[in-house]
Amino acid sequence: MPHNPAGDGEHHGLVLQPRNVQFDWNALPMHWIPGEPMATHVINVLHLLLPEGERWFVRTFKEALPLIRDERLREEVLGFVGQEAIHAEAHQGVLDHLLAKGLDPRPYTRQAEYLFQRVLGEHPELTGTAARENLIERVAVIAAIEHFTAFLGDWVLNADALDRAGVDPTMLDLIRWHGAEEVEHRSVAFDLLRHLDQGYTRRIRAMAITGPVLVHLWVRGTRFLMANDPTLVPGQARASWRAYTAASKRGLLPRLGRAARSAARYLSRGYHPTQEGSTRQAVAYLGTSPAARAAAH
């Protein structure tokens, strides 16, 4: 991700719009990066986690609306909520397709439901300061996750190797459309967190928990998909760090070192999401994305 401490000048004055995209998965091959089952399934973990995760973002941010005392931020939060609601349903479509193709995602997605609905869900029994604290803590976790979604969005917009590898064009458009909207709205969760809590401690604590948990969920998700892929024979169904590193060197997955350095930048006191990625590039992709263009008509 390009690091730009001066911030992203294109970002100011942006109005976040949901784009009501549709995707047809009928022709999607199981290994939509041809000949790369593991790299395909590493990226497929997005479909396992995002429907429940992004529905949880939507519920949490709607819960936070009454606490917002800034009209511009309120509008941005509403735009963010509209975008994330559509992202969740777009990835749900891929889950339904995997199920129809004989890869049942439900043993994993039931765990994601438990995480996002129970562990991280609303706590109606809390009142007053305890309720507010719990809500702000969840906003801080979302701000940390949004750092990674923006990192991944910037990565996928620049991952030319995916074009050269002959990736299924509909899937490539899904992950680039989504990635572009993640770059476009990358400041909203962070700005909401700062609006509700000016402090530094909560941001750092949330990242210290969120980063390792995401790695854990990703490893489990990749292993789950490989083990349950009906087109792989048992000897092929193993995921390994060595294979990950090899695929990342070919440009098919993000480099782990870059992801770690990006997470470290989130810990600096002067961090702001506009220092990472390019709004200009994201908006340019959204102007050419087949799904976004079709949604505009």
Footprint of Fe ion (CB under 5 A): 84, 87, 149, 182
Q: For the CB of residue 50, give the shortest distance to Fe ion in the complex, in Å.
A: 7
Q: Are 116 and 57 in contact (CB under 8 A)?
A: no
Which is closer to Fe ion, CB of 77 or CB of 165? 77
Q: For the CB of residue 97, give the shortest distance to Fe ion in the complex, in Å.
A: 19
Paired residues of 3 in beta bridges: 276
Which is closer to Fe ion, CB of 232 or CB of 292? 292
Q: For the CB of residue 117, give the shortest distance to Fe ion in the complex, in Å.
A: 18
What 3-state DSSP class applies to 261?
A: helix
State how far the Cα of 113 lies from the Cα of 92, in Å rounded to an integer.
13
Q: For the CB of residue 99, give the shortest distance to Fe ion in the complex, in Å.
A: 22
| DSSP classification of residue 199 | -
State how far the Cα of 233 lies from the Cα of 197, in Å rounded to an integer.
51
Q: Are 114 and 225 in contact (CB under 8 A)?
A: no
The token duo for 265 is 């930048």
Q: Are 250 and 161 in contact (CB under 8 A)?
A: yes
What 3-state DSSP class applies to 276?
A: strand
What 3-state DSSP class applies to 243?
A: helix
Which is closer to Fe ion, CB of 58 or CB of 209? 58
State how far the Cα of 110 lies from the Cα of 107, in Å rounded to an integer.
6
Which is closer to Fe ion, CB of 86 or CB of 243? 86
**Count of all residues that appear for the chain in the document:** 297
Paired residues of 276 in beta bridges: 3
The token duo for 63 is 């819960």
Q: For the CB of residue 215, give the shortest distance to Fe ion in the complex, in Å.
A: 19
Which is closer to Fe ion, CB of 84 or CB of 229? 84
Q: Residue 294: is it exposed, middle or buried by C-beta count within 10 angstroms (0-12/13-18/19+)?
A: middle
Q: For the CB of residue 161, give the shortest distance to Fe ion in the complex, in Å.
A: 23
Q: For the CB of residue 43, give the shortest distance to Fe ion in the complex, in Å.
A: 14
What are the backbone angles phi and psi of residue 18, rounded to the nearest 5°? -70, 140
Which is closer to Fe ion, CB of 109 or CB of 149? 149
Which is closer to Fe ion, CB of 41 or CB of 87? 87
Q: For the CB of residue 90, give the shortest distance to Fe ion in the complex, in Å.
A: 9
Which is closer to Fe ion, CB of 84 or CB of 191? 84
**Minimal CB distance residue for Fe ion:** 87
